[in-house]
Structure 1
Amino acid sequence: MIGPSGKIGSMTASPGLARRFLLAAATTIAVSMGLLAMAISQRIEASMMRTATEEGARFTEVFLGPLAQDLAISRSLSPESMKKLDDLLAGKSGERMILVKIWLPDATLVYSTNKETIGGRFPSHHIAAAVEGKATGEFDYLQDVENAAEKLLHTPLVEIYAPLFRTGTQEVIAVGEVYTDGRTLAADLASIRFTSAGIVGAVTAPMMLILFLMVRGASNLVNGYQSTLIQNVVEAKYLAAQNDRLRRLADDARLEAADSNENLLARIGQDLHDGPIQLVSLLMLKVTDPTATRGGSAHDPAIEPLTRRILTELRNISTGLVLPELEGLTPNETIRLAVQNHEEATGTTVSSQIGDLPADLARPVTICLYRIVQEGLNNAFHHGKAIGQRVEVWAEAQSIAIVVSDSGPGVVDSRRESSRSRTGLGIAGLRNRVEALKGTFELISQRGIGTQIRAKLPATFTVN
């Protein structure tokens, strides 16, 4: 089988469909699941920080609240209260707390593990929130100014701000700030983040695998269909090329058959002229020779008319079969010759309008034009009484149009088309001749109006 030509041969299935889908899906799902894992870990972190804040608020209320009651009537703690706070942090409670600070509502530091910063004022939104009765908490790496001395610890701390109330009331007299070791909480949060990412990854991987397998199967199916389609296109092009070649061969065969038919008719006409016609002519000479009766016997008077009739019929038949010499004539000259021969044979006048025709028409097409004029005018003479005989021929884009008409009484006889004429094979033979050349043929006859023979022959129908 011949291969495809042109762009068909370059068509290939796309092998990267599954790979591109996997990349896009992996990116999309990874980002989506990463955001999901981040959101989950943040929610868990917020929940754990809230728990730690509540625990720190209870510690400050239980341990720092009673020692900060001096601040209800004073802006500083008494030495006894500060000593108790120092002793408290030096004991077992100090193991959990890294720093402890007590603030006045105006953000003035009245107690701190670091004595150097006492008396300073360091406003913050955490202190403002605690003054309003809200406890807050967050991770802190001691970046604030008042924590400069403790910054070298480089330890994640949980910083908690809680309100300190006057005993028995809801009046905030101070704000307690507690820093606890946050390494355990940070490790727990890191573990939670890792676990969340692992769970999300464990859920995502099978999803991506299933989607990849589905897309790869679909891609293989599409590739298979595409390959089959390409193969079908190749076969269709091959068959189309074969059909075109066979069509050209059939066209050539029709032209050759038409040419052979003309040659056969010419040989038959020549044989009739050279054989039977010559013999009958000789018979006529003998019958009409006066010396033929010297023996005393008179010839039959009916022989001579009968012989003349036979001779006339044979000559008519041979005249119709034998074409005049058309070799070297253009299509225009061929049609004019057919009109001239008809006028000379019948003694009638034919009106003709012949346009400029292509000079390179195939010989069967030119002969067919001659036959149409010959048969049409003969038809007009015998059936149309030679009234208004007319021949019109013109060239169109891809065809030659010809009309042979008369203005006679018209013929409405259904046997007309199948009957043979005196000089040809009749309308049926003419129709077959035209259609063999892939042309169109039409006979229009109306009583009292006349008869038209219309035909169109392809102008580009040439032998390859």
Structure 2
Amino acid sequence: MNDFAAEQSAADEPRLSLTAQFAIMATIVLVLGMGSVGYWVGERIATDVTRNTAVATAFYVDSVIAPLTEDMSDLGVFGEGPKLALSEALAGALGGRIVSFKIWAPDGTVVYATDDALVGRKFPVKADLRQALDGQVNGGLDSLVDDENVAERQARKPLLEIYSPIRQPWSGTVIGAAESYEDATGLVRDIRAARTESWLVVGTATMAMLALLYTIVQRGGLTIKQQRAALRQKVAQLSSLLEQNEGLRRRLELASHRNATLAERSLRRLSADLHDGPGQLLAFALLRLDSATATIPPSEDMRSVRDALNEAMREVRNLSRGAALPELDRLDAEQVLRQVVQAHEARSGTNVALDVRPPLPALEQAERIALYRFVQEALNNATRHGGGVAQAVAAEVAAGELVVRVSDQGGGFDPAARTNGLGLAGLEERLVALGGRFELSSVIGKGTVLTMRLPVARQTEAAT
């Protein structure tokens, strides 16, 4: 059993320690989680920086460019004066940043552009332009794939595209939209630096959490390992004790079997001694009494003596027959039951109903003797104390046990008030020694039921 426990504990031992398993899983979870956080932070930084730049440019357009476009709603195009003023304004504060600039009419016509080739041309209104014409500022790094972005593509640098509405100063009505392209080289560099810093912060926090959690789990793993070793030692000790107990149980069972066999041999010798000793002497006394009274009339005292001798002879013969068992070696459980029932019916002159539900298990000699003695004593009690009314014997296998019940419908008695007679006490001791159980149930006026239970599994092992 110790070898089995060792093999089982080795099989239960994980290939990776709890600390290693946690390190792997925590690394995966934290890397994924912190990666998502870092990506979200980086994107949020890029979005906020881009929006702030777009808002600053829109403010400049609203405060500087819009007053120069007062007549755009009437003319639709700009004359040389407004164009010159726009060029000077763009070259002023934003001259080093603006790469390209356009002013759109609400129908998608370019009314002003730093690229003169686009002026007067009409293009489909994109979603970003539509938002600006609706009064919203938007911007972002553009891929420059539209038809009007030929000049911007030639710049070969990252550009920030910004759309801002142009409003009339006195009414606030949107009369067009300004589209500007700023050099985003510095912006992209700043966004990349901000993202790098955010990733460094997230990575440092992740490593710190991993180190802290790893330390905690490593200590817990050491504690679990120590407890597992202690538990394995306890299991080994318990397994050893179980083996010792099992050995003692087997020895006790063998001793009980030997004692039962020796007891039956003693009863057989006692039966033979009763038959050959007191039985023969009583028979000789009856013969001498009959010879003495053959010549003289028997008196009342002599008849009383003869009756007493006959009664003593019957008692001795009953004791002799009850103490001696028939040969049970070649009988199975059902045959043992039939033989003890038939013997009781012949001896008591009463009837017994026998109900056997096969198959019954194979029994050893000690179990067969216990079965015979149990039914014999139970039927004797049913006849002696219950008047032999509705005697019945039932046998079956239930819940892994051989169950035999002996019942009657006599007067019954109060089990709590019963005395510890030798018969029932001996039956209980005999069954307990074999690993079985003895049960008694009785109701005054309704009869008595005696039950014996023997484990089937143990008997099957013994039989095989």
TM-score, length basis structure 2: 0.65
Change (3 A) 1:247 1:260: same
**Aligned 8 A contact 2:415 2:441 in 1:** no
**Which residue does 1:440 correspond to in 2?**
438
Change (3 A) 1:253 1:79: same
**Aligned 8 A contact 2:389 2:408 in 1:** yes
CA-CA distance at 1:336 after TM superposition: 5.4
CA-CA distance at 1:452 after TM superposition: 5.9
**Aligned 8 A contact 1:56 1:178 in 2:** no
CA-CA distance at 1:442 after TM superposition: 4.0
**What is the CA–CA distance in structure 2 between the aligned matches of 1:176 and 1:453, rounded to whole Å?**
108
**Aligned 8 A contact 1:417 1:426 in 2:** no
Change (3 A) 1:46 1:313: same
Partner deviation per Cα, 1:220-240 (whole Å, 9 max, x = no partner): 666766776677667666655
**Which residue does 1:298 correspond to in 2?**
none
The root-mean-square deviation of aligned C-alpha atoms, in Å, is: 5.7
- Tell me, yes or no, if structure 1 residue 399 matches structure 2 residue 380: no
Change (3 A) 1:75 1:11: closer
SS at match of 2:452: strand
**Which residue does 2:185 correspond to in 1?**
183
Between 11-20 and 274-283, the greater mean CA deviation after superposition: 274-283
CA-CA distance at 1:257 after TM superposition: 1.6
Change (3 A) 1:81 1:451: closer
SS at match of 2:3: coil
Instruction: For 1:456, give the aligned amino acid.
Output: M
Partner deviation per Cα, 1:196-221 (whole Å, 9 max, x = no partner): 33333333443344345445555666
- Tell me, yes or no, if structure 1 residue 326 matches structure 2 residue 365: no
- Tell me, yes or no, if structure 1 residue 38 matches structure 2 residue 38: no
- Tell me, yes or no, if structure 1 residue 22 matches structure 2 residue 20: no
**Which residue does 1:11 correspond to in 2?**
12
CA-CA distance at 1:49 after TM superposition: 2.7
SS at match of 2:203: helix
Change (3 A) 1:107 1:34: closer
Q: Superposition pairs for residues 78-97 of structure 1, below 5 Å? A: 94-97=95-98
Between 96-105 and 248-257, the greater mean CA deviation after superposition: 96-105
Q: Structure 1: where are the runs of 5+ without partners?
A: 291-300, 344-348, 420-424
Q: Pick the structure with greater CA Rg.
A: 1
Higher helix share: 2
- Tell me, yes or no, if structure 1 residue 261 matches structure 2 residue 259: no
SS at match of 2:5: coil
- Tell me, yes or no, if structure 1 residue 116 matches structure 2 residue 121: no
Q: Superposition pairs for residues 362-401 of structure 1, below 5 Å? A: 362-368=364-370, 370-371=372-373, 392-397=392-397, 398-399=401-402, 401=404
SS at match of 1:395: strand
**What is the CA–CA distance in structure 2 between the aligned matches of 1:168 and 1:378, rounded to whole Å?**
126
Partner deviation per Cα, 1:246-291 (whole Å, 9 max, x = no partner): 444433432322221121233345456667888999999999999x
Partner deviation per Cα, 1:109-142 (whole Å, 9 max, x = no partner): 4554433344433464677777777766554565
**Aligned 8 A contact 1:57 1:161 in 2:** no
Partner deviation per Cα, 1:391-412 (whole Å, 9 max, x = no partner): 64332224363648697x9999
**What is the CA–CA distance in structure 1 between the aligned matches of 2:417 and 2:58, rounded to whole Å?**
117
**What is the CA–CA distance in structure 1 between the aligned matches of 2:414 and 2:80, rounded to whole Å?**
144
CA-CA distance at 1:154 after TM superposition: 0.8
Q: Superposition pairs for residues 127-138 of structure 1, below 5 Å? A: 138=140
Instruction: For 1:183, give the aligned amino acid.
Output: T
**What is the CA–CA distance in structure 2 between the aligned matches of 1:96 and 1:193, rounded to whole Å?**
23
- Tell me, yes or no, if structure 1 residue 52 matches structure 2 residue 57: yes
SS at match of 1:458: strand
Change (3 A) 1:25 1:219: farther
**Aligned 8 A contact 2:393 2:405 in 1:** yes
**Which residue does 1:207 correspond to in 2?**
209
**What is the CA–CA distance in structure 1 between the aligned matches of 2:249 and 2:7, rounded to whole Å?**
23
Change (3 A) 1:43 1:269: same
**Aligned 8 A contact 1:402 1:454 in 2:** yes
**Aligned 8 A contact 1:135 1:160 in 2:** yes
Instruction: For 1:326, give the aligned amino acid.
Output: E
**Aligned 8 A contact 2:62 2:166 in 1:** no
Change (3 A) 1:391 1:326: farther
**What is the CA–CA distance in structure 2 between the aligned matches of 1:97 and 1:200, rounded to whole Å?**
35
Aligned residues: 432
**Aligned 8 A contact 2:129 2:177 in 1:** yes
CA-CA distance at 1:184 after TM superposition: 2.3
Change (3 A) 1:30 1:221: farther
Between 171-180 and 200-209, the greater mean CA deviation after superposition: 171-180
**What is the CA–CA distance in structure 2 between the aligned matches of 1:402 and 1:85, rounded to whole Å?**
117
**Aligned 8 A contact 2:345 2:351 in 1:** no
Instruction: For 1:115, give the aligned amino acid.
Output: D
**What is the CA–CA distance in structure 2 between the aligned matches of 1:411 and 1:163, rounded to whole Å?**
110
